[in-house]
Amino acid sequence: MALEHAILVSLDERSGSGYELARRFDRSIGFFWAATHQQIYRTLKRMVELGWVSVDEVAQDGRPDKKVYDITPAGHEELRRWVAEPSEPETFRHDLSVKVRGASLGDAAVLADEVARHRDLHGERLDAYRAVEKKDFPDPSALSGRQLHQYLVLRGGVRAEQALVEWCDEVLAALRQDDSREDRR
Amino acid sequence: MALEHAILVSLDERSGSGYELARRFDRSIGFFWAATHQQIYRTLKRMVELGWVSVDEVAQDGRPDKKVYDITPAGHEELRRWVAEPSEPETFRHDLSVKVRGASLGDAAVLADEVARHRDLHGERLDAYRAVEKKDFPDPSALSGRQLHQYLVLRGGVRAEQALVEWCDEVLAALRQDDSREDRR
DNA sequence: CTTTACATGTAAGCGGTTACATGATTCT
DNA sequence: AGAATCATGTAACCGCTTACATGTAAAG
What is the SS3 string spanning chain A?
CCHHHHHHHHHHHCCEEHHHHHHHHHCCHHHCECCCHHHHHHHHHHHHHHCCEEEEEECCCCCCCEEEEEECHHHHHHHHHHHHCCCCCCCCECHHHHHHHCHHHCCHHHHHHHHHHHHHHHHHHHHHHHHHHHHHCCCHHHCCHHHHHHHHHHHHHHHHHHHHHHHHHHHHHHHHHHHHHHHHC
Mind giving me the DSSP string for B55-123?
EEEE--SSS--EEEEEE-HHHHHHHHHHHHS--PPPPPB-HHHHHHHTGGGS-HHHHHHHHHHHHHHHH
Residue A16 Cβ under 7 A from any strand C atom: no
Residue B105: pLDDT band by 50, 70, 90 thresholds?
confident
pLDDT at A107: 87
Q: To probe the interface with B, which of A14, A105, A171, A179 has the most B CB atoms within 10 Å?
A: A105
Q: Do B33 and A99 touch (CB under 8 A)?
A: no
In this predicted structure, what is the pLDDT of residue B29? Answer: 85
What's the mean pLDDT in B116-127? 95
Chain A with chain B: Cβ pairs closer than 8 A: 210
In this complex, the answer to whether residue B180 has its CB under 7 A from any atom of chain D, a nucleic strand, is no
Asked whether strand D has any atom less than 7 Å from the CB of B39, the reply is no
Å between A64 CA and D25 C1'?
A: 10
Residue B61 has pLDDT above 80, yes or no: no
CB contact (8 A) between residue A94 and residue B156: yes
The verdict on B168 touching A (C-beta cutoff 8 Å) is no
B166 interface with A at CB cutoff 8 Å: yes
Q: Which nucleotide is nearest to A4 (CA to C1')?
A: D15
Per-residue pLDDT, B132: 92
CA dist B174 → A32, A82, A123, B100 (Å): 19, 21, 26, 11
* B118 interfacial to chain A (CB closer than 8 Å): yes
d(CA B168, CA B116) in angstroms, rounded, equals 7
- Residues B155, A170: C-beta atoms closer than 8 Å: yes
Beta bridge partners of A176: none
A23 CB and strand C closer than 7 A: yes
Write the DSSP symbol of residue B33: B
Instruction: Show Cβ contacts of residue A12 under 8 Å, excluding neighbours closer than 6 positions.
Output: A71, A75, A76, A79, B102, B105
Chain centroid to CA B31: how far? 2
Decide: CB of B10 under 7 A of nucleic strand D: no
Query: If residue B17 lies in a helix (H) or strand (E), which one and from where to where?
Result: strand B16-17
B40 CA – C18 C1', rounded, Å:
15
Give residue B58's pLDDT: 83
Per-residue confidence band for B185, with pLDDT thresholds at 50, 70 and 90: low
CB A38 within 7 Å, strand C = yes
Q: Which stretches in chain A have pLDDT values below 70?
A: 183-185
CA angle, B170 then B166 then A170, to 5°: 140
Protein CB footprint (7 Å) on chain D nucleotides: 6-11, 14-19, 23-26
A35 in Cβ contact with A3 (< 8 Å): yes
Range in A58-62, A110-114, B74-78, B119-123 the model is least confident about: A58-62
Find and give the residue nearest to D14, measured CA to C1': A1
Q: Which nucleotide is nearest to B19 (CA to C1')?
A: D7
**Chain B: closest CA distance from residue A65 (Å):** 30
Q: What is the pLDDT of residue A151?
A: 96
First to last CA, chain B: 52
Kindly state whether A83 is in contact with chain B, defined as any CB-CB distance less than 8 angstroms: yes
